[in-house]
Structure 1
């Protein structure tokens, strides 16, 4: 009967430990990317009474988005977001903009598919 040498035993423990560390490290890289970014709008009173006007800008054209569909925008396709609350907003869009305007500018290159998905909820602004 042959006994394993002490050197092989230590190498075996080292290899098992190394494998365990690599295994844990490989799975920890994916631990933080499990959710997609979301857009949340917080208002002090009911959403339908004081909701702002949502304007989507795609290829330098403005479209008005139904406020009930504002959460449908994919955040990865947004280039910038502007919030207009002053008289200039009301001058451009009238009474509908009395509670402010949220202007969402979409990226030109990647957003064609997203724009087509939102098209039924948009009206020309």
Structure 2
């Protein structure tokens, strides 16, 4: 009970104190602040899913069929402001798509893009 009273008295007297470490700010929201990284889209059988930012290294390189990079206005026009730093589109081989989808499912966002063949 003494500690709160002492703190209250110090506040009344105008004593100021600062933390020696930087404060940690944690935001709880759906939209994340971009960290100057491209948007990763993984395509499984013509359906594209957005991969969460830090999960790109989890893709098995042996299952990649094609890798496309979109930059500048083309990426922003297709995927919006989240693609301001570009888009990396990774197409997974059809034979391995089901297994890779199950493995990456916790790291995929729910929003799907249906891709038409060019």
* TM-score, structure 1 normalization: 0.59
After superposition, give the CA deviation of every residue in 1:30-81 in whole Å (9 maximum; x if it has no partner).
xxxxxxxxxxxxxxxxxx6210000000100010000100000000010010
Q: Let me know the Cα RMSD of the aligned residues.
A: 1.1
Q: Residue 69 of structure 2 corresponds to which residue in structure 1?
A: 83
Which has the larger strand fraction?
A: 2
- What number of residue pairs does the alignment pair up? 78
Provide the rounded CA distance (Å) in 2 between the counterparts of 1:92 and 1:104: 16
Larger Rg: 1
* TM-score, structure 2 normalization: 0.63
Counterpart pick for 2:49 among 60, 63, 67? 63
Deviant stretches of 4+, over 6 Å: none
Give the unaligned 5+ runs of structure 2: 1-33, 113-118
